[in-house]
Structure 1
């Protein structure tokens, strides 16, 4: 999950550098950060004049809950494991800029970026091969969420701070799969049924 979101952040920063015309090596405009900690002086300084990405919720995709629990190998061995967990990630992009026009411009750039590239996969993300622990397979689709005024109030109230210019996306589906085998053995090839005499 962290690897996929980090990859998303890398590609977003590449786009922002491109549209801003920043030279290579310039500090990234989009950073990880807990926007709820802006009341702490040290955190507030680190996140000042930044586009801040915060994970605000994780939701299980229940429609895919009943996945396969069996893996069969060519040799006939069967491995039993728990089904994969499919997650939706709620990602908040907050424009923490002193200049309000700059904040709105940054949000426009974020929306434009995800409009141009909504789905992120292993095939369309060349940065994967350069990472220390390459992601073998993933597919993340970004959906823009439109909140009511009541939901916006609740969101920022739960974050404990004043509202900033923001946009909220749902990233679906991140798959979590533990490779541990719970049980193993040969698979059943035939079933033999024998009857027992009722008088014995």
Structure 2
């Protein structure tokens, strides 16, 4: 589900940038992947926007404490509660040269306005979104200079023009049941004497 949520964000953003005439073949596209490879070299092609997942955290406010029940094939199935996640993603623009720096800032500006205008994604409005994802809420994070320094240091790279977003409500659930109950076939009542 994580891969589908991230891929959806990249594809939807690419569609928006193409509609604005900002992308061409292999230039100005959002590419999902790590920032640098194992050798410490850039993993994203120049003049593109990288999309990197930098953190996964459980949404404890919306956390369900009780197991879920479902009926499958006439049997009651007990499942673990859903795992509701918030993802922190980083969009980063990598110019190929100094004269391309303003172009990368333009890409980021259009990305910012896109998510400002479209902070919520649902399968009803966006059929490309996996129907198992109820909705995605995208909100920009206001990171301090110190936080940016720490993020770029642990990513193992030098700073690039970038913006971080929190993507809420990616829900995962294991399909392996905890228990399977027998179906209810009849109801008995007991009347007590007074």
Q: Which TM class, normalised by the smaller chain length? A: 0.7 to 0.9
The Cα of 1:122 is off from its aligned counterpart by 1.0
Q: Which runs of 4+ in 1 moved over 4 A?
A: 38-41, 186-192
The Cα of 1:22 is off from its aligned counterpart by 5.4
Relative distance call for 1:91 and 1:74 in structure 2 (3 A) is closer
Is 1:161 aligned with 2:157?
yes
CA distance in 2, matches of 1:31, 1:191: 62
- Give the structure with higher Rg (CA): 1
Larger helix share, 1 or 2? 1
Relative distance call for 1:103 and 1:191 in structure 2 (3 A) is farther
Contact residue 38 and residue 161 of structure 1 kept, 8 A: no
| Two-structure CA RMSD over aligned residues (Å) | 2.6
Contact residue 69 and residue 82 of structure 1 kept, 8 A: yes
- Listed one character per residue, the Cα deviations across residues 126-167 of structure 1 (whole Å, up to 9, x for unaligned) are 224xxxxx5434211001001111111111111111100000
What SS is found at the alignment partner of 1:123?
A: coil
The Cα of 1:64 is off from its aligned counterpart by 2.1
Is 1:9 aligned with 2:10?
yes
The Cα of 1:62 is off from its aligned counterpart by 0.7
What residue number does 1:33 align with?
A: 33
Q: Which runs of 5+ in 2 are unaligned?
A: none
Count of aligned pairs: 183
Contact residue 133 and residue 170 of structure 2 kept, 8 A: no
